[in-house]
Amino acid sequence: MRAIQMTEHGGPEVLVPTQLPAPEPAPDQVVVRVEAAGVNFIDTYQRSGLYAVGLPYVPGMEAAGVVERVGEEVTEAAVGDRVAFAGAPGSYAELVAVPAAKVVPVPDSVDSRTAAALMLQGMTAHYLAYSTYRLAQGSTAVVLAAAGGVGRLLVQLAKHVGATVLAATSTEDKAALARAAGADEVIRYREVDLVEAVRAATDGQGADVVYDSVGADTWESSMDCLRLRGMLVLYGNASGPVPPIDPLELNRRGSLYLTRPQLAHYIADRAELTWRAAELFELAGSGELEVRLDRTWGLAEAADAHRYLEDGRTTGKLLLVP
């Protein structure tokens, strides 16, 4: 089968097209023929070595496709089922073996590209909005990188429950996308002072929560955007990892809460996984949640997809289509 494999850490050039044997399913696994695989920042972190993985390694942590083979102990899926998954490696390939407990059924109302686009970024947006900090009517949230894959979905989910959303973006084109997603106000944070803009929009009080996927360049400003006892949710490192933070800083800035969540801890239980996926598929299938597909590449173009992602040009989901 065709796949992308890395034998060393480094830049996008380490992503090399290759031929590998087709995977055999373990007793608790299914083999999925990949129809669309998501490209995400976690893939770049693993490629660069920021997140350690064993080498050689086939990147990719999410995909949608059709079950081609099942292990003898599998009860969650059958041959021919349309499924999607996140949190299992190896999706930059034509075929991937996945623990059956990680796959979820894809309804007829959702196509494979949309399903792949929703698994990692959609469920990330879902747990951020509904679990890490449970947004509700009257909540005020700042969403950084609001026109990106997670950000735009997060804006929509926040508005779905009636929260006020202050969307931070870097360009006017991205600002337009954030407005179209329903943001109440858009802040061009590279051109204006983010803290001053958030304070002005909240009558000087600050936001209840800031969702920050940018990291090194913004975490300090994000803290200053919060109200007393507000929560900073650091869920990405697009500009680099955040340095160690003295816990006393949380005290000095208003008894703040700080968390650094990851999706794996919010879908570790299969019931929670299927609940999140089903809610997202229902919203997408009914048209209540718009899933924006930015660009697609062929499997052999994985390096170009990583360059595009790391250049900060994304305005939606990036996919590899074998």
State pTM to two decimals: 0.91
Residues 95 and 321: their CA atoms lie apart, in Å, by 12
Q: What is the pLDDT of residues 202-217, one digit of tens each?
A: 999 999 999 999 999 9
Q: How confident is the model at residue 38 (pLDDT cuts 50, 70, 90)?
A: very high
Q: What is the pLDDT of residue 9?
A: 97
Q: Is the pLDDT of residue 30 over 90?
A: yes
How much is the average pLDDT of 298-302?
98
Domains and CATH numbers, the chain: 2-120+264-321 (3.90.180.10), 124-263 (3.40.50.720)
Calculate the average pLDDT of the chain.
96
How much is the average pLDDT of 47-68?
96
Per-residue CA distances from 16 to 13, 20, 236, 252 (Å): 7, 12, 26, 48
Residue with tokens 């890490």: 132
How much is the average pLDDT of 261-280?
96
How much is the average pLDDT of 292-304?
96
Q: Is the pLDDT of residue 235 over 90?
A: yes
Q: How confident is the model at residue 196 (pLDDT cuts 50, 70, 90)?
A: very high
Q: Is the pLDDT of residue 125 over 90?
A: yes
Q: What is the pLDDT of residue 43?
A: 96
Show the DSSP H helices in the chain as ranges.
Answer: 41-48, 112-127, 149-160, 172-180, 194-201, 219-224, 247-252, 270-285, 302-310
Cβ–Cβ under 8 Å, residues 215 and 312: no
Q: What is the pLDDT of residue 315?
A: 75
